[in-house]
């Protein structure tokens, strides 16, 4: 193909790389927080890159966004109040707002430019931004959670970049303590937790910090994600209270919205960890 | 890191690429059938490349090999006779021979050099080659299956390269008809079936050809595989007779051998397809 080159992310920590064939650079800017690029690819739609790390493509983001939203929301008995920390591309917000039980969903993204660029280059992810239940804030999520009224949230979704740079403070016990306090009894924290095969130590330390903050049940779910290092990703759910192994399976089956990856069987399957991850639960 | 470069496979058909950081080229040769390279990587052990396509790494091949062997073998009631077509690295053979029910496992690899190089650079995969139940043949798998005695096999595992070059003839109705004839009633064919997100059309046409050959039940299982295009892979099981949704779950749970990915929960989970793949079963 003429006019094509490749954008490749070399993930030094795992010694592996992932790339996509690109047609052109649509946008590049240095914001107050980070460097953002948007590329047009040949086969994956648009591609967003932050500080050299691939954030999403139009084609495969459904895997991540559905798994960040639906397992937690179908586990909580009545998810009325949801906060998303990060998530500036608005894809998680869109999935959250598909649930009719949700009364308010606040998205707290530190970098407004991520959302403005998503509106332009990933408009399908932003189609729920005008929903009256949506509230978009552009401020520090760590501070937001620290100031949050106790027992005011049902689900907190931490949809952040890797634990370096602006997102570093989202992976420690102090932040988890804020989340724990802000959640009501039975409330669920869910956080993206990197690659099962490359970052098992990180997952282990996140889980230890979550436990230390008081969360009574933990579960790490894995799912495919072609555009992230190793192509395999995870999120970790932590519950204020007990029990993450059951969910509203009938509601998941009868959900009044379309999905492309998630369904009740996928949720049930994701509750059974690969053999090498069973030791996490010891 | 000094002395490092990257081996990258650009997968033109999907416009995506995967690479690994390498330390040195350990071996390269042109065999009668193909070009084989072995690289030493920084984080993934050794890496085998055939005709530019990544075949396996020491670190992540367990995902593929376990999923090619165990779901089929725990579905068949008494898998005594097993044939592996391709599979020259011997990793699938090793997993098959972990099952005490297996009386004979024949591996039919067209290129003996693949096995000789696996013995040298992936010795852990070849540790069952001296098992008296193992029979290693180096000949054409298409011819082997065509000449196979009817009703003589319980499980056929097609562990091949992509459907171009030497493996092309393993993806069509004539080959599936040979497999069907060679299998006894209730027998299972399982074949690697590429990436769910990049090759859904191929999966659909493989399934149609399998049905045409007489197979009564089909199921495509997906699993992560970092070293293959898109990091997400699949195998398709086809049964001579009915039923692939149940398996010997108690036996899988009580299996007398260690695995790293497969377990009964993973098997059960893999029987529930992602939402976008449910249409395959229509």
Given A89, A111, A159, A162, which residue is catalytic?
A159
Minimal CA separation from B198 to chain A, in Å: 10
Which burial class, exposed, middle or buried, applies to B81 when counting CB atoms under 10 A from its CB (0-12, 13-18, 19+)? buried
Inform me whether the pLDDT recorded for A2 exceeds 60.
no
Query: Tell me: the pLDDT tens digits for B219-228?
Result: 999 999 999 9
CB contacts of B226 in chain A (<8 Å) are 16, 197, 230-232
CB contact under 8 A, A15 and B42: yes
Strands B46-50 and B53-57: antiparallel
Taking the CA atoms of B116, B120, B124 and B130 in sequence, report the sign of the dihedral they define: positive
Contact between A43 and A22 under an 8 Å Cβ cutoff? The reply is no
Minimal CA separation from B221 to chain A, in Å: 12
Average pLDDT over residues A68-91: 98
Average pLDDT over residues B199-218: 95
Q: What residue of A is the nearest CA neighbor of B19?
A: A17
Provide the pLDDT for residue A159: 96
CB contacts of A42 in chain B (<8 Å) are 15
CB contacts of B265 in chain A (<8 Å) are 269, 271-273
Inform me whether the pLDDT recorded for B171 exceeds 90.
no
Contact between A9 and A229 under an 8 Å Cβ cutoff? The reply is yes
Query: Tell me: the pLDDT tens digits for A224-248?
Result: 999 999 999 999 999 999 899 999 9
CB contacts of B276 in chain A (<8 Å) are 260-261
Query: Tell me: the pLDDT tens digits for A23-44?
Result: 999 999 999 999 999 999 999 9
Average pLDDT over residues B91-109: 98
Q: A50 forms bridges with which residues in the sheet?
A: A36, A53
Q: Which residue of A6, A10, A12, A19 to mutate against B (max B Cβ within 10 Å)?
A: A19
Residue B258: count other Cβ atoms within 10 Å of its Cβ: 7
Distance CA B178, CA B146 (A): 5
What integer best gives the mean pLDDT of chain B? 96
CB contact under 8 A, B266 and A272: yes
Query: Tell me: the pLDDT tens digits for A163-189?
Result: 877 778 888 899 999 999 999 999 999
A173 by DSSP, 3-state: which? helix
B96: tokens are 């098959």
Q: Where does A183-272 show beta strands of DSSP type E? A: 183-192, 217-224, 232-239
How sure is the predictor about A270, in pLDDT bands with cuts at 50, 70 and 90?
Answer: very high
Query: Tell me: the pLDDT tens digits for B68-83?
Result: 999 999 999 999 999 9
Inform me whether the pLDDT recorded for B175 exceeds 80.
yes
Provide the pLDDT for residue B167: 77
Inform me whether the pLDDT recorded for A1 exceeds 60.
no
CB contact under 8 A, A8 and B15: no
Given B89, B111, B154, B159, which residue is catalytic?
B159
Provide the pLDDT for residue A228: 97
CB contact under 8 A, B268 and A272: yes
Provide the pLDDT for residue B68: 98
Minimal CA separation from B270 to chain A, in Å: 7
Distance CA A23, CA A165 (A): 29
- Examine the predicted complex and report whether its ipTM is higher than 0.90: yes
pTM here is: 0.97
Provide the pLDDT for residue A118: 98
CB contacts of B258 in chain A (<8 Å) are 275
Provide the pLDDT for residue B277: 97
Distance CA A26, CA A47 (A): 10
Inform me whether the pLDDT recorded for B194 exceeds 50.
yes
Q: What residue of A is the nearest CA neighbor of B47?
A: A16
Domain ranges of chain A: 5-57, 61-281
Minimal CA separation from A231 to chain B, in Å: 4
Provide the pLDDT for residue A106: 98
B159 catalytic? Reply is: yes
Provide the pLDDT for residue A49: 98
B81: tokens are 């006779």
Minimal CA separation from B54 to chain A, in Å: 13
Q: What residue of A is the nearest CA neighbor of B198?
A: A43
CB contacts of A276 in chain B (<8 Å) are 260-261
How sure is the predictor about A156, in pLDDT bands with cuts at 50, 70 and 90?
Answer: very high
Provide the pLDDT for residue A188: 98
Provide the pLDDT for residue B163: 81
**Which residue intervals of B137-227 are DSSP H helices?**
141-147, 173-182, 200-212
A61-281: CATH class? alpha beta
The count of residues in chain A is: 282
Query: Tell me: the pLDDT tens digits for B226-271?
Result: 999 999 999 999 999 989 999 999 999 999 999 999 999 999 999 9
Residue B250: count other Cβ atoms within 10 Å of its Cβ: 10
Query: Tell me: the pLDDT tens digits for B266-280?
Result: 999 999 999 999 988
Q: What residue of B is the nearest CA neighbor of A14?
A: B43
Average pLDDT over residues B114-142: 98
What integer best gives the mean pLDDT of chain A? 95
Average pLDDT over residues A68-76: 98
Provide the pLDDT for residue B139: 97
Q: What residue of B is the nearest CA neighbor of A63?
A: B274
The CATH number fitting domain B5-57, selected from 2.170.130.30, 2.30.140.10, 2.40.160.40, 3.30.70.360: 2.30.140.10
DSSP string of B106-161, one letter each residue:
EEE-S-HHHHHHHHHH-GGGGTTTT-TTEEEE-S-HHHHHHHSPTT-EEEEEEE--
CB contact under 8 A, B272 and A278: no
Inform me whether the pLDDT recorded for A202 exceeds 60.
yes
Inform me whether the pLDDT recorded for B1 exceeds 50.
no
Provide the pLDDT for residue A165: 74
DSSP string of A57-126, one letter each residue:
ETTTHHHHHHHHHHHHHHHSS---EEEEEE-TTSHHHHHHTT-TT-SEEEEE-S-HHHHHHHHHH-GGGG
Provide the pLDDT for residue A76: 98
Task: Measure CB to CB from residue B230 to each of A14, A226, A274 and give the nearest one.
Answer: A226
Cα–Cα separations (whole angstroms), residue A14 to A60, A235, B122, B128: 21, 19, 20, 30
């Amino acid at each position: 193909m003429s006019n094509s080159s490749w954008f490749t992310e070399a993930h030094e920590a795992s010694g592996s790389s992932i790339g996509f064939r690109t047609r052109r650079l649509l946008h590049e800017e240095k914001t107050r927080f980070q460097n953002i690029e948007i590329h047009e690819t040949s086969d994956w739609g648009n591609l967003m890159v932050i500080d050299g790390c691939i954030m999403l493509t139009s084609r495969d983001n459904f895997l991540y966004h559905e798994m960040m939203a639906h397992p937690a929301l179908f586990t909580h008995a009545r998810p009325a109040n949801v906060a998303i920390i990060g998530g500036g591309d608005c894809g998680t917000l869109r999935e959250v707002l598909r649930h009719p039980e949700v009364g308010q969903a606040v998205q707290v993204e530190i970098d407004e430019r991520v959302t403005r660029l998503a509106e332009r280059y990933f408009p399908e992810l932003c189609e729920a931004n005008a929903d009256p239940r949506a509230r978009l804030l552009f401020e520090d999520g760590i501070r937001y959670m620290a100031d949050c009224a106790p027992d005011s949230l049902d689900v907190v979704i931490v949809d952040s970049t890797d634990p370096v740079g602006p997102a570093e403070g989202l992976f420690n016990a102090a932040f988890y303590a804020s989340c724990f306090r802000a959640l009501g009894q039975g409330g669920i924290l869910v956080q993206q937790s990197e690659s099962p095969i490359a970052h098992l130590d990180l997952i282990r330390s996140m889980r230890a910090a979550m436990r230390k903050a008081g969360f009574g049940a933990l579960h790490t779910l894995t799912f495919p994600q072609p555009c992230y290092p190793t192509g395999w990703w995870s999120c970790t759910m932590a519950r204020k209270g007990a029990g993450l192994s059951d969910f509203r399976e009938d509601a998941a089956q009868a959900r009044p919205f379309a999905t492309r990856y998630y369904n009740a069987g996928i949720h049930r399957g994701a509750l059974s960890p690969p053999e090498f991850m069973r030791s996490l639960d010891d």
